[in-house]
């Protein structure tokens, strides 16, 4: 890993941490950056989880210190999410690297669209039944375990439909992200799909990005960061799909 690749990963992690704090979808930037830095597709997907782990853990700790919400009833979404994430992470780790990169390149387009429109939570809707909630969050876990990128964009909307108020839903969202990566990361490690040097460099940026993201969200910097992330994600998607060199 060269010095400029390290700077690229720290900078990308910083931006992704900010984006994830304010909305979600930051992994749509960092996984392709890892690929561009020379990390094969599935190893980039696994290595990215190290930064997600550190930033999610920091967010969970922040909520715990605030003592603003009670997540004691979160098992109904955490359990199916864990099951889905294990299955998803194992399944995706079996793909060839070039196949994974093509799939990710295609997925980045709807992820960018979700970043623009941001699904709106429906606070006045009738909560889902227990069976529907389990099915939905198993699906979210499958996707999160496999790709992670963009999973936070739909979690708030899904959690409010599961019966959580908006503040608690945001708390549960970061907990779900943490749980998904805690169970998915060991699968990638066992499969040999984590390259530790770039993973740890990226995690530095992710951690600081999560901290700065809270500051920027308050000061109205979200729009500028979001525009940068969208442009970069579209460019990197084109690179993964071979549309340009």
pLDDT along the chain (245 residues), means of 10: 89 84 75 90 93 84 64 81 92 88 83 69 72 93 86 79 75 82 92 95 89 59 61 71 67
pLDDT at 168 (0 to 100): 73
What span, in angstroms and rounded, lies between the C-alpha atoms of 86 and 101? 20
What is the rounded CA–CA span in Å between residue 245 and residue 235?
A: 10
Looking at residue 87, its pLDDT comes to 94
Answering whether pTM is above 0.75, one says yes
pLDDT number for residue 126: 75
Cα 215 to Cα 199: distance, rounded to the nearest angstrom:
25
Query: What six digits make up the tokens of 164?
Result: 């959580």
The pLDDT assigned to 218 comes to 46
Reported as a single tens digit per residue, the pLDDT across 67-99 is 555 666 778 898 999 999 999 999 998 888 888
* Residue indicated by tokens 């999410």: 81
Give residues with Cβ within 8 angstroms of 3, minimum separation 6: none
Quick one: pLDDT at residue 114? 73
Burial 65-89, CB ≥16 within 10 A → b, else e = eeeebebeebeebbebbbbbbbbbb
DSSP secondary structure code for residue 162 in this structure? T
- DSSP string of 32-67, one letter each residue: HHHHHTT--HHHHHHHHHHHHHHHHHHHHHHHHHHT
> Going by C-beta distance under 8 Å and a sequence separation of 6 or more, which residues neighbour residue 204?
10, 13
Q: Residue 69 has what pLDDT?
A: 56
């Amino acid at each position: 890993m060269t010095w400029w690749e390290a700077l690229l990963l720290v900078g990308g992690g910083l931006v992704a941490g900010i984006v994830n704090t304010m909305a979600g979808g930051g992994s749509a930037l960092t996984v392709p950056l890892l690929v561009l830095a020379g990390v094969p597709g599935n190893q980039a997907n696994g290595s990215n989880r190290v930064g997600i782990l550190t930033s999610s853990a920091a967010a969970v700790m922040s909520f715990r210190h605030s003592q603003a919400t009670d997540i004691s009833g979160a098992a109904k979404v955490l359990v199916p999410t864990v099951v889905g994430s294990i299955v998803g992470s194992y399944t995706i780790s079996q793909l060839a690297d070039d196949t994974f990169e093509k799939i990710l390149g295609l997925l980045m387009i709807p992820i960018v669209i979700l970043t623009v429109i941001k699904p709106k939570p429906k606070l006045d809707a009738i909560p889902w039944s227990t069976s529907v909630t389990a099915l939905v969050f198993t699906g979210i876990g499958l996707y999160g375990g496999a790709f992670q990128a963009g999973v936070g964009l739909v979690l708030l909307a899904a959690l409010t439909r599961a019966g959580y108020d908006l503040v608690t839903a945001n708390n549960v969202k970061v907990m779900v992200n943490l749980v998904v990566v805690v169970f998915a990361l060991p699968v990638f490690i066992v499969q040999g799909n984590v390259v530790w040097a770039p993973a740890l460099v990226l995690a530095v940026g992710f951690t600081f990005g999560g901290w700065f993201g809270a500051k920027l969200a308050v000061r109205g910097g979200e729009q500028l960061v979001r525009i940068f992330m969208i442009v970069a994600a579209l460019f990197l998607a084109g690179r993964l799909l071979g549309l340009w060199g």
